[in-house]
Amino acid sequence: MDDQSFLARRLDRAAAPLAIGDVLVLMAFLTAGTLSHRPAEFLVNNPTYLLGVWAPFLIGWFLVSPLVGAYAAGAAETAKSSVPLVVRSWIPAAAIGFVLRAFVFRGGVAPTFVAVILVTGAVALGAWRALYFRIR
């Protein structure tokens, strides 16, 4: 009988670089989106603003990605296994982020925003992971 917990089986040390990169990519693409609506000067004058932008989606990411297997042993082996896992993790993580944004972080959740975040996040995370396996 396997004594490892479900979560322990879903987290592999070899996937640590993927986890760090995923978080940085999420923060970067959310920042880029914010900059398309707010001037950089606004962010300089409101240094905590981005925390409210990042938080709902990062909370969703930290809750969902290990459960889906984004950091399981298979995720750290090849792009062919890793990219689908990160995309499958992003969809429910973003859904949690939208709910948190709407009800906790006081942000908008317009249908266009939802579509852009879902697609852009999936593309950004998938591209990052594909690039990681290409250059490692």
Q: What's the pLDDT band for 98 if we cut at 50, 70, 90?
A: very high
Overall average pLDDT of the 16-44 stretch: 96
Average pLDDT, the chain: 94
pLDDT computed for residue 41 by the predictor: 96
| Residue percentage of the chain with pLDDT more than 90 | 88
Q: Is the pLDDT of residue 20 over 60?
A: yes
pLDDT tens across 54-87, in order? 999 999 999 999 999 999 988 999 999 999 999 9
More confident residue, 7 or 64: 64
Could you tell me if 18 and 101 are in contact, meaning their C-beta atoms sit under 8 angstroms apart? no
Q: For residues 76 and 91, what is the distance between their CA atoms, to the nearest angstrom?
A: 20
Give CA torsion, residues 102, 108, 113, 117, to 10 deg: -50
Report the pLDDT averaged over residues 89-109.
95
What gap in Å lies between CA 95 and CA 102, rounded to an integer? 11
pTM for the complete prediction? 0.92
**Per-residue pLDDT at 69:** 94
pLDDT score recorded for residue 122? 98
